[in-house]
Amino acid sequence: MPPRHLALALAIVAIWGTNFTIVRMALSDFPPLLFATLRFALVFAPAALFVPRPAVPWARIALYGCLLFAGQFGLMFYAMGGLISAGIASLVIQSQVFFTILLAVVLNGERLRGPQVIALLLALAGMALLIVRADGGTTPAGVALVVAAGLCWASGNHIARSVGRGEALALTVWAALFAVPLLGAATLAIEGPATIGRALATAHPGAWAALLWQAIGNTLFGYGVWAWLLSRHPASTVSPLALLVPVFGMGTSAFVLHEPLPGWKLIAAALVLAGLVVNLLASRWVASRPRDTATGEPI
C-alpha cells in the first residue's frame, strides 16, 4: 500500500475510533435508531444532487446499504444506547476483520492458514472474556449485537471489493437511500413517534453537530474512502488496519467519558488486538510467499 493510501486509512481509523465517544454523547439527546436514521438521511440528501448513481446494479447498492449502514449502525447504535460502553463497542466491532476474511474464504475460495486460525481463536477468547465478565456498562446482549454489526460490516466490505474503483463515494451516497427506510421503520416501531418528536424538539446544538459529523466526516469521507481502498488493495491488507480503531476508541472514551478500564477489560482488549496483529502478520507472510504456477497457491 503506498504511503498516501496508508495515511488515508490511518485518518479514517482515527475518525472511527474517536467517533464512538461522539456517538455515546449524542445518544443522550437522540434515541439510537432515530440517530441512525437521521445520519443516513443527511448522507443521501443533498449529496445525491451532486453525486450520480454508481454504475452498479440496484440490487447491489440496496444490499450494501441494508447491510453496511442499516444493519451495522442500527445494531451498534442500539447496543450503545445502554447495553455496551463506547470503548468496548469500538473493540468488539473489529470482529468485522475476521468476518471479512471468513467471507473471502467461503465466497472467493481463499484459504484460511494456520496462523489465521490462531488469530481467530485469540480474538474469540477476548470476546468470551467480555461476555463472561459483563457488567452494567457491557452486557452479553450488547456484545452479541455489536458482533452482529461486525458481520454486517464485513458483508458490506465484500460488496465494496466488487465495485469499480471510481464508484466508492457514489456507492456510499446512494446506498444510504436504502438504509433510511429500514432504520425509519425501526425507529417508529421500537422508539415510537412520541420519543422521536421529543428528541427532535429538545436535542442540544452539540447533538446536532455530532449528527452532521456522522454524515460528513464518518460516512461520506470515512466509508467512501474505505470502499475506495478496498477496491484497490486486498481485504487482508486494508481490513486489519482497523485494529487501531479500539486504540483510539478506548483511549478517547476513558479520557472524555471517564470509562473505567479494569484489568479484565485490558486483558480482553489485548487478546482481541493480539489476534488482529497475528492475522495481519500472517496475511503479509502468505502474500510474500512464492506461488505455484499451476494453482496460484502459496508454496
pLDDT tens column, 104-163: 777 766 676 777 778 778 877 887 777 777 666 778 889 899 999 999 988 888 887 776
Q: What b/e sequence results for 25-35 when a residue is b if at least 16 CB atoms lie within 10 Å of its CB, and e otherwise?
A: bbbebbbbbbb
Q: Mean pLDDT across the chain, nearest whole number?
A: 83
The confidence score (pLDDT) of residue 284 equals 65
| Nine-digit cell string for 50 | 451532486
- The pLDDT confidence band at residue 215, using thresholds 50, 70 and 90, is confident
- Residue 110 makes CB contacts below 8 A (sequence gap 6+) with 101, 104
The confidence score (pLDDT) of residue 295 equals 45
| Nine-digit cell string for 11 | 485518518
Least confident interval from 167-171, 200-204, 248-252: 167-171
The confidence score (pLDDT) of residue 76 equals 94
DSSP structural state of residue 223: I
Predicted model pTM: 0.79
Shortest CA distance to 100 belongs to which of 176, 155, 37, 144? 155
Report how far residue 214's alpha carbon sits from residue 235's, in angstroms, rounded to the nearest whole number: 24
pLDDT tens column, 263-290: 877 888 788 778 877 876 766 665 565 6
Report how far residue 222's alpha carbon sits from residue 165's, in angstroms, rounded to the nearest whole number: 16
Is the pLDDT score of 65 beyond 60? yes
The confidence score (pLDDT) of residue 294 equals 47
The confidence score (pLDDT) of residue 285 equals 64
Report how far residue 223's alpha carbon sits from residue 43's, in angstroms, rounded to the nearest whole number: 11
**Residues of the chain above pLDDT 90, percent:** 29
> Is residue 23 a contact partner of residue 152, using CB atoms and an 8 Å limit?
no
**Mean pLDDT, to the nearest integer, of 210-233?**
83
Per DSSP (E only), the strands in the chain are none
